[in-house]
């Protein structure tokens, strides 16, 4: 059973290292019959692939294609590679040769920004950087950055000030920066799933930071995905949908663990009313973005956001461990 770790770090390291990572042992694959797999590190998180295929050599070839695609997308979305398209955009404030994947994902991010009333905002990076710099200093005020600093950083936030066109992206205000960490893992999971579908595979489980399943296991049962931290919620059966989880405690800025990495653009501060949020949706991109937005959205507005995304269900876990379920249905 695949399991979502609610304390998993949520950032795009996008290591996708092939060296030292191999297919699961042949004996294990043989015991599983037609099931082949890979487990390693990708996108700064534990990652795995499960493929149902009658030919082990072909399965290895397909997994190699997937890892090459992850490496290609790293060069688009990474915040930590100096040559990535996103780093160049943040450095120069414009990109006249924007890759199609970046244009597509930033367009989707803007749509989720509108649907969430701005609670999902890809331009929140200046606030994230402010908190990271503040707590990296010796003797940092444990209360966080000063109100004036937060106000200055908030003036650089606003996805509406990003111009997105065919092959061109530009910021309206100097100093703006974008992060796609709340949606890119889901997007890459979707791209890998689509690649495998184009190669003729009907039965796969893809986890590139978020999870998407299609088809079934070799025994005919749906894939099973567990939700850590969601009290009273059993494994979800997935044969054509995705699941993503966000948790503020997954990455924290301060030694005391009071300031998580999920920042509310409305206040400029790390504020999350839920201990963790898992979302089941038709695509991993949607599940990823919705789990991020719901993590900082006031609880009274959660149902409205989910209503605008049919086929999505949220599992919202409070500090006391109780889990509230909202939405329409869990994709099967």
Q: What pLDDT, in 10s, does the model give residues 249-271? A: 778 888 888 888 889 999 999 98
pLDDT of residue 13: 27
Burial readout 221-259 (b: 16 or more C-beta within 10 A, e: otherwise): ebbbbebbbbeeeeebebbebbbbbbbbebbbbbeeeeb
pLDDT at 31: 42
- pLDDT tens digits in sequence order for the chain, 332 residues long: 333 333 333 332 222 222 223 344 444 444 445 889 889 877 677 789 999 999 999 999 999 999 999 999 999 999 988 899 999 999 999 999 999 999 999 999 999 999 999 999 999 999 999 999 999 999 999 999 999 999 999 999 999 999 999 899 999 999 999 999 999 999 999 999 999 999 999 999 999 989 999 999 888 889 988 886 666 677 888 889 999 999 877 788 888 888 888 899 999 999 888 888 999 999 999 999 999 999 999 888 999 999 999 999 999 998 888 888 998 755 45
Model's pTM, two decimal places? 0.88
Give residue 28's pLDDT. Answer: 46
Question: Which among 285, 240, 250 has a CA at the least distance from the CA of 270?
Answer: 250
Q: Are 23 and 60 in contact (CB under 8 A)?
A: yes
Question: Cα-flanking dihedrals φ and ψ of residue 37, to 5°?
Answer: -150, 165
Instruction: Write out the two tokens for 36.
Output: 């082949």
Residue 332 CA to residue 282 CA, distance in Å, equals: 9
Angle at 289 between CA 287 and CA 294, to 5 degrees: 90
């Amino acid at each position: 059973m695949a399991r979502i770790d609610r304390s998993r770090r949520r950032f795009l390291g996008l290591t996708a290292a092939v060296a030292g990572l191999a297919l699961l042992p042949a004996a294990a694959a043989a015991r599983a019959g037609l099931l082949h797999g890979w487990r390693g590190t990708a996108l700064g998180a534990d990652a795995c692939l499960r493929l149902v295929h009658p030919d082990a050599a072909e399965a290895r070839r397909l997994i190699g294609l997937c890892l090459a695609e992850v490496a290609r997308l790293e060069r688009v979305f990474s915040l930590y590679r100096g040559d990535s398209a996103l780093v160049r955009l943040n450095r120069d404030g414009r990109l006249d040769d924007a890759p199609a994947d970046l244009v597509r994902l930033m367009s989707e991010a803007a749509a989720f920004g509108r649907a969430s009333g701005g609670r999902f905002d890809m331009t929140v990076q200046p606030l994230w950087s402010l908190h990271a710099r503040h707590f990296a200093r010796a003797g940092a005020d444990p209360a966080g950055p000063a109100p004036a600093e937060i106000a200055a950083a908030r003036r650089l936030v606003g996805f509406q000030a990003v111009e997105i066109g065919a092959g061109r992206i530009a910021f309206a205000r100097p100093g703006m920066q974008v992060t796609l960490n709340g949606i890119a893992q889901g997007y890459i999971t979707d791209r890998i799933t689509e690649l495998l579908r184009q190669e003729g595979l009907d039965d796969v489980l893809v986890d590139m930071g978020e999870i998407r399943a299609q088809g079934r296991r070799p025994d005919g049962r749906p894939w099973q995905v567990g939700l850590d931290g969601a009290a009273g919620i059993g494994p979800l059966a997935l044969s054509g949908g995705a699941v993503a989880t966000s948790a503020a405690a997954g990455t924290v800025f301060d030694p005391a663990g009071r300031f998580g990495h999920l920042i509310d653009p409305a206040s400029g501060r790390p504020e999350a009313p839920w201990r963790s949020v898992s979302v089941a949706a038709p695509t991993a991109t949607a599940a990823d973005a919705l789990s991020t937005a719901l993590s900082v959205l006031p609880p009274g507005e959660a149902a409205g956001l989910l209503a605008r995304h049919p086929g999505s269900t949220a599992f919202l876990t409070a500090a006391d461990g109780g889990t509230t379920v909202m939405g329409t249905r869990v994709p099967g």
